[in-house]
Structure 1
Amino acid sequence: MSFEQIELLESIGLKLFFVVIFLLIGLAIQDVLKRGNVPKFGRFIVWLVLFVGCAGFVAKGIIELTWEGNGLG
């Protein structure tokens, strides 16, 4: 394998790792909310914060791809 292929594999692996981590965090939060009998408004706020964090991560990835594609990174 060439160095570029190894870098690409590491990059994809890291992104998949973060997706799995976000999924596990979401499942843990769902379990805590269910066991804690949290009101509907509280659940909404918790999921909103989790979604905004995930959306920021996705936006960062898209921005990085765009910049690297244009030769800025």
Structure 2
Amino acid sequence: MQSKWLTEHWDKIESIGLYVFFAVIFFFIGMAIQDVLKRGNVPFFGRAIVWLVLFLGCAGFIAKGVIQAFFEASGTGG
């Protein structure tokens, strides 16, 4: 019974696992960037630009996921 459930929902499990993996990677990238900025004594303006770029990258990734889910739910996506 459980293996049948697993095979039926394997695509969803893979998708969730991939999103969790990317979230963890974004977290570690952020921690590495924070460390480099602290050790390099980067001024406030430079730090703000770096964090803005990192935020926009994450926002783009999230927007892509939302758009893809919307298209798949409406039946227009592959």
Q: Indicate the TM-score class for this superposition, using the shorter chain for normalisation.
A: over 0.9
The gaps in structure 2 that reach 5 residues or longer are 1-5
Give the greater-gyration-radius structure (CA).
2
The alignment of Structure 1 onto Structure 2 pairs a total of residues equal to 72
CA–CA separation in structure 1 for the residues paired with 2:43 and 2:63: 30
Q: Which residue of 1 aligns with 2:65?
A: 61
- Higher RCO (C-alpha under 8 Å, 6+ residues apart): 1
TM-score (norm 2): 0.89
Q: Secondary structure at the match of 1:47?
A: helix
CA–CA separation in structure 2 for the residues paired with 1:29 and 1:9: 30
Report how far residue 51 of structure 1 moved: 0.4
Stretches of 4+ aligned residues off by more than 3 angstroms: none
TM-score (norm 1): 0.95
Percent sequence identity is 65
CA–CA separation in structure 2 for the residues paired with 1:23 and 1:72: 32
Q: Which residue of 1 aligns with 2:75?
A: 71
RMSD: 0.7
Match of 1:33 among 31, 34, 37: 37
